[in-house]
Structures are given as structure tokens and as C-alpha cells.
Amino acid sequence: MTILPGSTLGVLGGGQLGRMFAQAAQTLGYRVHVYEPQAECPAGAVANREFNALYADAAALQEFARGCDVVTYEFENIPAAPLEQIGSLTRLYPRPGVLEICQNRLREKTWLRREGFPHVPFAEVTADGDLAAAVRRIGCPCVIKTADFGYDGKGQQKVTDEAALERAVAQFAGQHVVVERFVDFRCELSVVVARSAAGESRAFPVAENIHTNHILDFSIVPARVNEAIRREAEELGRAIVERLDVVGLLAIELFLAADGRLLVNELAPRPHNSGHYTLDACVTSQFEQHVRAVCGLPLGSAALESPVVMVNILGDAWQWSEGKVVAAPDWAALLADPKTKLHLYGKKEPRRGRKMGHFTVRDADVAVALERARTLKAALLAPATRA
């Protein structure tokens, strides 16, 4: 069934992904309702209506769902019970089963293994299990990750020796975790794939991602790998989306191992930070594509119009003194570059490590775009920032 412009789309979660989804939906003529426990959220600021209530508030959720022709979400950490309530009142995409798999690292990796997709070797450790034994079985170096609620490096620890293992045993005591073999990789890649209820799918160009302190720093598109690797990554993404029966978007994070293999690291059933470049460099952005997919509209072209580099802007870019913000970055200087586009998320206050926005730099030569992006980022980080 096609949900036509003029209808109301609902978004669970009020962060920047919901904000950019709402802006894309409104451009196409839809109304957008946002459900978010915290008031004055980035998505709520641009929505037609904002619901501020806990996910456990059944009455508020029912009112929200009844007013929407279709509901989607912009982050994974939503309890299962609200999804069941919403699914009984309106359309919900991607389906709750996709979210259930992707919001838990163990379920996600178990699904990848069962379905035969390439993945990092791992072992499960229950809350009362023997973490040290699992680490020795997987081998060092390895990475220990909590099964639930992990993102941007939160809830994980690399273990390289016995001393690090001893600290990890204390840190993760009583927690359900996954132990993953550390991958010797050439680079990290990602691909965002859209799929409609009719089974039409489109993969966006593969991004090469550089992380700093576990947070995405730069996304480089096209990825600096050969065409065969890019094609394999896109095909792998489409296969996973089909097998999961996703309606909406799925981001697939990958390692390109030193031996040339592609290994799936994580899945995210929503728009993705590494897909922000599509706003300025693709025929159709990931957010418009998300709208098209959940509404049953034909998917747009995912073609890349120009090489591009995306740079995250964290709260660290503000000038700090004695733990307080004293000045904002020089946005005018950033925008003086004619090939740069700035996107700020409308968050009330910067915090170190908090994603406040991003910018993109386009150029016919991706190496030139990357060099310019690095220069512009360095210019944002004034000396007072580090005080």
C-alpha cells in the first residue's frame, strides 16, 4: 500500500536522525510526529507535533500511533513492549523482529552466523559465565562488548594481555557480554541499503570510515578500495536486507580484513552517521530514501554525484575554558569554502564527545576533498578548545 504525501509519518526517537528524516518527509509533503521522552529534542523542533512521554506510557504511545499512517524509528534502544503496542495500531517499519536482532550484539552476531554471512569470530558470556575462559578461547587481542545498548565505543573494552583481562573481568562482572576476536583490518567500510515493501532495493555508495576514540570522524566516498570490494560490499548489504526482510533502511558496518575478506561488524536498521554524505552528494539522500521506502513510493536514485568527505562535529569543537563553553566555532570561516556544506543538529548545549553536527566537502578528486576536510576540521579546533 502506498502512503501518499499529506499523510502523517511517526518517528520513535528525537535525535538528529529523526530531525533529518522529518525535514526530508516535509519536503515531500508529509506531516511528521515525533515521540521522544526528552522535551525540546532536535527532531521535535522541526516536527508538526512532538510527544514527550516515556516509552512505557501506554496511553501516550497509543495516542501517538493512532495519529500516524506509518511509524519508523531513528535509534535501536527502544523496549520491545512499545513496538508491540504500536504495531497493533498502525504500520511499523522496519518490523519489530529486525529491531530485536539489531539492538543486541549477541542476537545480531548469532543471526549472521546462522544465515552464513561473514562475521568476526565471537563467544557469548552470560552474566554468571567465565569471561576469562571465553577470552582465552577466542584469543588475544580481543574486544569485549556488552550485549545490549552499545554505540560509539560505549560498553566495550579491548583486551591485549593478562593485565587487561584482569581489569575487564572486574569491569564486566555480572554483565552479559560478547567476546570478539580483534580483526587486523585495512579499513572500516559501511553501506546503507534501502528496501521497500515491494522488495525494491537500492544500495548507496560504500563509505570508508575513520574513527577517533571509537566515534566516527571522517567518511570518505567513494571508499578508497578497488571496485570489486565496493561491489562485494553492496551485494552483501543487499543480501542481508533481503534475508532480514527489511522495509526501510539498514546500515551494514564492515571490516576489510588484512587478507582481503569483508566481515560484517554491526547492523543498524535506520539512517546512519556514515550516510550523511548523501545529503549533499547523492541524487537521493538516505533520509528521503527512508521516507520513500516506508511509504511504498518508488525508491530514488542512490547515484553519487561527486566524491565527498563527511566530517563529524563534536562538542569538542567549541572553545572551552575551565570546563565551560566560552565560544562557538567560527562557522563563517568554515562556510567560506565554496565546496563545504554545514549541517547543525539544533542541540541545546555542546558536550565533549557529543555529535553536534557535520560538514561535507565535495571535490572531483576525493584525495583533495579529504585534505581540505582535515584542514577545515583543524581550523575549528582552536587552542582554547583544549584548555
Verify that 300 and 366 share a domain, yes or no: yes
The whole-number pLDDT of residue 77 equals 83
The whole-number pLDDT of residue 383 equals 52
**DSSP 8-state class, residue 126:** -
Verify that 344 and 207 share a domain, yes or no: yes
Mean pLDDT of 342-348: 96
Beta carbons within 8 Å of 243's beta carbon, 6+ residues apart: 115
Predicted confidence (pLDDT) at residue 153 exceeds the cutoff of 70: no
Assess if residue 197 is contained within a domain: yes
Mean pLDDT of 342-352: 95
The whole-number pLDDT of residue 155 equals 75
Verify that 77 and 141 share a domain, yes or no: no
Residue 125 maps to which CATH number? 3.30.1490.20
**Which comes out higher in pLDDT, residue 319 or 295?**
295
Predicted confidence (pLDDT) at residue 384 exceeds the cutoff of 50: no
Last residue of a domain, one of 159, 181, 203: 181
Assess if residue 144 is contained within a domain: yes
Sign, Cα dihedral of 113, 117, 118, 119? negative
Verify that 216 and 144 share a domain, yes or no: no
Count the Cβ atoms, other than its own, within 10 Å of residue 307. Answer: 21
**Which comes out higher in pLDDT, residue 104 or 26?**
26
Verify that 208 and 151 share a domain, yes or no: no
Verify that 154 and 207 share a domain, yes or no: no
Give, in degrees to the nearest 5, the angle at Cα 374 between 373 and 378: 115
Verify that 323 and 380 share a domain, yes or no: yes
Comparing CA positions, the residue from 310, 286, 303 lying closest to residue 193 is 286
Assess if residue 113 is contained within a domain: no
Assess if residue 125 is contained within a domain: yes
Comparing CA positions, the residue from 116, 243, 105 lying closest to residue 177 is 105
Exposed/middle/buried for residue 300 (C-beta within 10 Å: 0-12, 13-18, 19+): middle
- Checking DSSP bridges between strand 215-221 and strand 248-257, what pairing results, if any? unpaired
Q: How many domains does the chain have?
A: 3
Verify that 229 and 363 share a domain, yes or no: yes
Measured distance CA(203)–CA(301) in Å, rounded:
9
Q: Predicted confidence band at 135 (pLDDT cuts at 50, 70, 90)? A: very high
Assess if residue 73 is contained within a domain: yes
Measured distance CA(95)–CA(37) in Å, rounded:
22
Assess if residue 364 is contained within a domain: yes
Mean pLDDT of 295-304: 98
How is residue 178 written as a grid cell? 560478547
Measured distance CA(108)–CA(101) in Å, rounded:
5
Verify that 192 and 164 share a domain, yes or no: no
Assess if residue 300 is contained within a domain: yes
The whole-number pLDDT of residue 151 equals 60
Assess if residue 104 is contained within a domain: no
Range of the domain at 153: 121-181
Phi-psi label, residue 214: left if phi above 0, alpha if psi -120 to 50, beta otherwise: left
Amino acid present at 11: V
Measured distance CA(103)–CA(125) in Å, rounded:
17
Verify that 214 and 237 share a domain, yes or no: yes
Comparing CA positions, the residue from 22, 1, 68 lying closest to residue 247 is 1
Verify that 312 and 373 share a domain, yes or no: yes
Residue 227 maps to which CATH number? 3.30.470.20
